Amino acid sequence: MKNLFVSLVSAAVLFAIGCQENSITEPVVNEPVDKVQSGSPETYLHDFIRLEGALNDPYPIGNSFYVVNGLIEYEQRTVYVDPMLPTAQRYASLYFTTDAEFRYLCTVCPPSEEDNLAGFISDVSEEFVPLGGNFVSLLEKTYAIQGRDDGMTFKVRFLVTSNGVDLSAMWLALPNANVIPTNNNHY
């Protein structure tokens, strides 16, 4: 009787083990992967860029300038398009808030607070710039100067890296004037 009982228990255990699903031979199920942010570290930067300086008047009048005074606040997020590739494709998502004013600079008299306001910028924008491993991306933005009827614009060139945004150059331009700035026009 004892042998019969041991045989029945052994058979029941073997039956239970044999009926379990074998996880080794099960097919692998691929679940959808969010390739935009999956497994990628998110980088967030917040900083300010001061806009200060004298800019050449784009009209062909010698020794006339505009003084710019303002601030660009920016937020930068690094977005990974496909982090699974051997070299992940990255972009900088940039959110700019720009506020600046322009005053005409009298070249024959000392500067004063009464100098005429020649226009202003109040702008919010978003840009996407590709980021590489060890290179710097250039971003050139054109701002319409409000309060002017001649269409003068304010152009700014930024250097964008994964570590932030730096001001490279700024100048004033007239509409339809595709002039590359000279060293005098750079900030």
Q: How many CA atoms lie within 13 A of 110 on its CB side?
A: 1
3-class state of residue 52 by DSSP:
strand
**Phi, psi at 142, each rounded to 5°:** -120, 125
- Predicted confidence at residue 83, as pLDDT, reads 62
| pLDDT reported for residue 79 | 86
Stretches where the chain sits below pLDDT 50 are 29-40, 180, 182-187
pLDDT at residue number 11? 62
Closest CA to 96 of 116, 121, 117: 121
Query: What does the pLDDT read at residue 31?
Result: 46
pLDDT at 88: 64
The 10s digit of each residue's pLDDT in 30-64 is 444 443 444 445 689 999 999 999 998 888 776 78
Three-state secondary-structure class, residue 37: coil
> What confidence tens digit (pLDDT) does each residue in 160-172 have?
998 899 999 999 9
- Please, what's the b/e burial string for 23-45 (b: 16 or more CB within 10 A of its CB; e: otherwise)? eeeeeeeeeeeeeeeeebeeeee
pLDDT score at 187:
46
